[in-house]
Structure 1
Amino acid sequence: WVAIPFASDWRWLLDREDTPWYPTMRLFRQCRWGDWDEVFSRMAQELPRMLTDKRKY
């Protein structure tokens, strides 16, 4: 998992939660400039789902 800033560079593309270069990587982007709390909150919400759904990972 990677926390991506609101204004990220080209390699992270746009409007995606994945990347063609790293197929198992999950991207969590800022929705608002400087708002990291929201990014890490989404990560924290997704973690239990990931742990219970072993088929995806």
Structure 2
Amino acid sequence: MIAVIAMGCYGGVKLDEKFPNKYSVFTIVCSLLSVGIATYIAIRQVGNDSKK
């Protein structure tokens, strides 16, 4: 989970460096998206583990 969130944040920061804007939109969007993806992966793993 931590790796997915860290990659999302890092990608957002790099996009903001390449395409500067006033509110660091890429960092915010990529961070929230990576948290959502990490949560989905964790829930899916728990579901798969409970079926076994």
TM-score category of the 2 structures, normalised to the smaller one: 0.3 to 0.5
Asked which structure has the greater CA Rg, the reply is: 2
Which protein, 1 or 2, shows the higher relative CO under an 8 Å CA cutoff with sep ≥ 6? 2
Of Structure 1 and Structure 2, the greater helix share is in: 2
TM-score (norm 1): 0.40
Of Structure 1 and Structure 2, the greater strand share is in: 1
